[in-house]
Amino acid sequence: MSLKEELKALENQHLQLSTRESTEKLDHLLADDFWEIGSSGVPYDKKFCLDQGVVLTEMTLHHYEIQSLSEDTSLATYYVEDTTRSRNTLRSSIWKKIDGRWQLYFHQGTITDLQKDEYKERRGR
């Protein structure tokens, strides 16, 4: 499996309701020093996500791309359709290989009016 396929599988896991509902699964996926900037613009850390929970919505990932930042760090960018909230977001994640496995270190979501095909055209990929 390529690195892109591996990280995309982890990213999909992060979006799945079964993962988002499980403190244990989230704890395993998120790095200890994980933090995110939510689509609201509010920052959250791992402790908040585990204690308060994360948004539970049906989401579909599209146009997944990665860029290597170092041997053990990659930036992922992609588009998400959120059917529960009827909105789309542009997402970015930084994945770090920690203790021999890829963990989500940083995440950000930005609400967009772009449709998935428009995003693909603008990205040029």
Strand stretches in 9-124, DSSP E? 30-37, 43-45, 59-70, 73-82, 87-98, 101-112
Query: Is there a contact between 32 and 102 (Cβ–Cβ < 8 Å)?
Result: no
pLDDT at 66: 97
Q: What is the pLDDT of residues 35-81, one digit of tens each?
A: 999 888 899 999 999 998 887 788 899 999 999 999 999 999 999 99
Q: Nearest 5 degrees, angle CA 2-CA 95-CA 85?
A: 100
CATH number of the domain that residue 55 is part of: 3.10.450.50
Can you give the pTM of this predicted structure?
A: 0.91
Q: With cut-offs at 50, 70 and 90, classify the pLDDT of residue 87.
A: very high
Residue 106 domain boundaries: 3-123
Average pLDDT, the chain: 93
Residues 6+ apart with CB under 8 A from 124: none
pLDDT at 27: 96
pLDDT at 125: 58
- Number of compact structural domains in the chain: 1
Cα gap 104→66, rounded to integer Å: 13
